[in-house]
Amino acid sequence: MSSIASTVSTLSKRAQECAVPSESPLWGIYADQWHPESNPNGYINVGVAENTLMHSELECYIRNSSNIPSKAFTYGDGPLGSNRLRNAVVRFLNRRLQPVVPLEMRHVIVTNGVSHSIEHTSWAFCNPGDGYLLGRPYYRAFIPDIALRPGVEVLTVDFGTIDPMSVEAVAEYEKALLAAKYRGVHAKALMLCSPHNPLGRCYSRDALIAYMRLCEKYQIHLVCDEIYAFTTWHNRHDSSPPAVGVTSVLSIATEGIINPSLVHVLWGMSKDFGANGLRVGYIISQHNEALHRALLEVEIYSYASSAAEHVAANMLENDAWVDDFIQENQKRLTDSFSFVVDFLNKHKIPYAPGANAAFFIWLDLGKAYLDRHLERGSEVTDAMADEIMQSLVSSKVFLGSGSYFGAETPGLFRIVFTHPRPYMEEALRRVARAIGEGTEARYQPTLPLRGGAKLGGQVDCQG
């Protein structure tokens, strides 16, 4: 008997449920990552939402600007976050999101990453056994963030042939809410991810207003995760539906639409600044003082590092650098997205059109696999999707299976395109091989984008 099996019965029931071995290959992939020289047979990871396109610029700026003060070795200004960082976030978001009601420091709560921000909303808005509405497909970690420790039921919403980003999709949330109520589960909150993970699209202003009206009708909280708010790019390819730009719910006047105390926004440093490891996120709630008082009692468990807060504030306070960083990031996103889409078109791998935000392209590898294996019939099954996933792993490339994201049909996969060209070239070659295409000829390697750019007047990195 293994040591885990012999001790699992000593744990609580909820801990026992989490002690089962993970089916995800991800941790093994992290331990064996590809490098063109030192580990050419390692795994290519294009399944995790990380943007490495600007890492050199970020490293350069932090190295040259972040002299950590002694206050960072204390508890700072308390668990809601440092006054300096909260003021920096307010100034930055007021300048770039143009909220109808200007943000103030007291509207912002700092957490050690947006995952904790999500969990806090579930804990604060729902009792154990209540429901939290979430449309499919969804960011896979929304499920444990909302449900695991708060004991809340995630009420997933199906759309069938309806575009999940459309105004028409709002009616499907109402159906899910009423179906849950019929069996005794009361929805208390609705989560939107805009820009969307994994679809890489933005909700229109009209759609956001429709969601606000739905939440007002049933007096439930609207939580908008806007963690990709500035991670947008120009889609050079024809697309239908047309790409829609980012609209923050903070920029929509609530009068006559929704009680403003029901509207909340989440944002963080992980995606827009390619800084997943910094672990700094924000809850923004302008009109709900009770939420702020309640979270003061539990924020001790999500206290952000004072050193990380200092680094984040240094970034957000430098207008010239941050504007140049975002602009250059968007340019590189455009180029990388176009490169990947050109490959997909050339190799006849279908993908969902209309993307212009976040890090993702939603691939239909099921259809691509059947096109290369006509003897397998015309229907993609769950078993076939699992087979494709195994083939990808065998080819040493990791993508996010649609089953992880609550996809309504099998065979869909999420690819993350925000890596330097040589990395993406190798990833795409392996994907094509995994679905049955002979692609042994390698691309001519391209030098990765490196740091040292003088963003915002910063000097080149040294040492």
In this structure, what token pair is assigned to residue 257?
Answer: 């639409």
Residue 173, domain member (yes or no): yes
Cα dihedral across residues 432, 141, 52, 24: positive or negative: negative
Rg (CA), the chain: 22
The b/e string for 246-273 (b: 16+ C-beta within 10 A; e otherwise) is bbbbbebebeebbebebbbbbbbbbbbb
* Residue from 179, 254, 268, 242 nearest 212 by CA: 254
SS3 413: strand
∠ CA 371-375-376, nearest 5°, is 75
Q: Is residue 187 included in any domain, yes or no?
A: yes
184 inside domain: yes
| C-alpha count within 13 angstroms, C-beta hemisphere, residue 281 | 25
Burial of 302 (0-12, 13-18, 19+ CB in 10 A): buried
In a domain, 375, yes or no: no
Is residue 225 included in any domain, yes or no?
yes
**Domain count along the chain:** 1
Stated length of the chain: 463
Tell me what pLDDT residue 20 has.
Answer: 78
Mapped onto helix, strand or coil, the DSSP state of residue 361 is strand
In sequence order, the 6+-apart residues with CB closer than 8 A to the CB of 395 are 430, 431, 433, 434
Question: Domain residues for 268?
Answer: 68-318
Residue 444 located in a structural domain: no
CATH code for the domain in which residue 273 is found: 3.40.640.10
Q: Going residue by residue through the chain, which has 463 residues, state the pLDDT in tens, using 9 for 90 and above.
A: 456 667 888 899 888 888 877 667 777 888 999 998 999 999 999 999 999 999 999 999 999 887 888 988 989 999 999 999 999 999 999 999 999 999 999 999 999 999 999 999 999 999 999 999 999 999 999 999 999 999 999 999 999 999 999 999 999 999 999 999 999 999 999 999 999 999 999 999 999 999 999 999 999 999 999 999 999 998 988 667 778 899 999 999 999 999 999 999 999 999 999 999 999 999 999 999 999 999 999 999 999 999 999 999 999 999 999 999 999 999 999 999 999 999 999 999 999 999 999 999 999 999 999 999 999 989 999 999 999 999 999 999 999 999 999 999 999 999 999 999 999 999 999 999 999 986 443 333 333 333 334 454 444 564 4
Residue 105 in any domain: the answer is: yes
Strand partners, 281: 111, 268
Q: How many CA atoms lie within 13 A of 84 on its CB side?
A: 17
Residue 3 is predicted with a pLDDT of 62
Secondary structure letter of residue 16 according to DSSP: H
Q: What is the pLDDT of residue 21?
A: 72
Q: Where are the beta strands (DSSP E) in 99-159?
A: 108-111, 131-135, 153-157
- Helix 365-372 and helix 382-394, axial crossing angle in degrees, nearest 10: 80
**What's residue 17's pLDDT?**
84
Residue 149 lies in a domain: yes
